[in-house]
Structure 1
């Protein structure tokens, strides 16, 4: 028997889970279809930083405004999810310290952050007083109080559990092999039979390409492998995340430090390498020498979904009405999940969405008809 719903969301990472949550909250009938365990892919591998300020250099104006909106949305989402489900997404305050090691770095970042609110320069004595274990080579740091973090796997569980409480149906271990347009609906062929939906949202991260290619959008997303390690913090407690040269140390509530990450383009393997782990340990040691004394817990790797211009695809297919895409968030999927979920919900509900966002994230802007080289 063919199952039916108003909206089918394909992909159960934090992006798909947030979309399901906001759609269900708005009263839509939602089916979420995930090929494996919900939240087990790139979401599980992420560090969880909500770094709207620290990633400013990588963002254009439209993506920065989107990121700041999404960052702010986490406060309300945290409260609502706890109220609905009892789940604490571990939104940990304290912010982020972007460390600076020389005057050249300081001047470059001063210029970069000059227009931003919520970024404060701290000199060396102030920084080392707040965090005594920092490297003695640190010149100072930019403190970003609003760049807090969550625990990604728990946040994802919070979104899809809340969606379920609001009426969405969550279907794990249900891979979608084909999406076919049929008059006023879509037919989805899955590993567990067929679904019928008025609208479909493709939100499968780097695995979205197969479905996007069949819809005429080519393969605009490629993987960027990121390797990480976790250690037990037996030394000085960290009150905030540390960040330098795109590498980070993130404290978790269970006394873990998450240390990462490498950036290896077009690598589909999900096993960490000795060379990659050595690189991130050296970067971590430069920030916090005491990591050398901390017990090793585990290592892993995840595949970030990236587009050629670094911005996600969020919007409706230009030729297939009712087919939406939300993928390609690169290393900012955790940060951008709430705003992405709300934007897809608003597009489906014909609500107002800022024009600069619709244009910046237009899903056919990268459609060259060419394959991404793997």
Structure 2
């Protein structure tokens, strides 16, 4: 297929879309308004699971399961081809004192996922640094986290090595070019880039761009703040989650604690209020963090969408325009499946899962 495809947005969804497309189309151009991967893909925690997977629809579950199974080989492939290890780190995850524990266990049995109730003493044995007072725990083995800034760097390096892919950073797309009802390119500050197909994967900015066509895409920025501690390697052997806050261990001893959920438009300013709230949650989960130094505090913008169900497929009434966006809190979780499904649809291949729940038709205003 000798088409030129323009991907608007260079987060993990846009980069992996381009990476998967490169084997099937003539040319791929990725445009990002800043540096690729520096928005929510860089800011998130990288847990390769929805925080509460049983609270999501089957549409999100289907993408999550496919992606979770695929992530280890994606990490290995990128490391082998680029020398940059995304560090897919399998630690398992403990949920503590859940209100809906029964629903979680019923979901696990129904979906055949390795999640089960464990005695709280077993959780304290496995995670000795856990704070006191927790009464109940459930645990899912096999849950990994990916070091998302390294994943983005690895994807960027992989794309730069491909002869038919070009990355255009600091290239803001302001609109779409049409011939009749067909989209034939994008308008940027540097001029028009022609395309046979255009893919909108612009994260929290996707709704603004689609509005230039008079279409209402219910994707909006939702701010999240995170903090990072440096501890000894092995300090935290497993991910832990309680009261909506989580702690994620990296292989080198860094501990990531997050996150807030704020509707603050496009403001990404870290706040003192969030810092203190996250510190308090960190110390409640892991009291020894009271003595640890916060080595990072930042904010990012998630692409909020109804029920967190992404939009994957062609835009009705605008031939040549496609969506792969609106992943809300689960862009990193769902990326492998979303991007493979997207490429299946664009190239006419057999889709890996039923694409109907993600189709833009009927979901745009």
TM-score, structure 2 length as denominator? 0.92
CA distance in 2, matches of 1:242, 1:359: 34
Is 1:8 matched up with 2:6?
Answer: yes
Is 1:193 matched up with 2:191?
Answer: yes
Residue in 1 that maps onto 2:359 = 362
Residue in 1 that maps onto 2:124 = 128
1:50–1:148 contact (8 Å) kept in structure 2: yes
Residue in 1 that maps onto 2:327 = 329
User: Secondary structure at the residue paired with 1:277?
Assistant: helix
1:241–1:249 contact (8 Å) kept in structure 2: yes
Residue in 1 that maps onto 2:237 = 239
User: Secondary structure at the residue paired with 2:156?
Assistant: helix
User: Secondary structure at the residue paired with 1:272?
Assistant: coil
Q: For the structure 1 residues 96 and 251, does the alpha-carbon distance in structure 2 shift closer, same or farther, using more than 3 Å as the test?
A: same
Give unmatched runs, 5+ long, in structure 2: none
CA distance in 2, matches of 1:21, 1:267: 30
Is 1:97 matched up with 2:94?
Answer: yes
Aligned residues: 361
Between 302-311 and 358-367, report the one with greater CA deviation: 358-367
Residue in 2 that maps onto 1:56 = 53
State the superposition RMSD in angstroms: 2.1
Residue in 2 that maps onto 1:149 = 145
Deviation at 1:189, TM superposition (A): 1.6
CA distance in 1, matches of 2:218, 2:16: 22
Deviation at 1:108, TM superposition (A): 4.7
Deviation at 1:185, TM superposition (A): 5.7
Residue in 2 that maps onto 1:211 = 209
1:5–1:31 contact (8 Å) kept in structure 2: no
Match of 2:44 among 43, 46, 51: 46
Give CA deviations for 1:164-189 in whole Å, capped at 9, x if unaligned.
32331111111111111226661222
1:222–1:266 contact (8 Å) kept in structure 2: no
Residue in 1 that maps onto 2:291 = 293
Q: For the structure 1 residues 84 and 355, does the alpha-carbon distance in structure 2 shift closer, same or farther, using more than 3 Å as the test?
A: closer
Deviation at 1:207, TM superposition (A): 0.8
Deviation at 1:5, TM superposition (A): 6.1
1:224–1:305 contact (8 Å) kept in structure 2: yes
Match of 1:161 among 157, 161, 184: 157
Give unmatched runs, 5+ long, in structure 1: 369-374
Q: For the structure 1 residues 190 and 267, does the alpha-carbon distance in structure 2 shift closer, same or farther, using more than 3 Å as the test?
A: closer
User: Secondary structure at the residue paired with 2:130?
Assistant: coil
TM-score, structure 1 length as denominator? 0.90
CA distance in 1, matches of 2:268, 2:79: 32
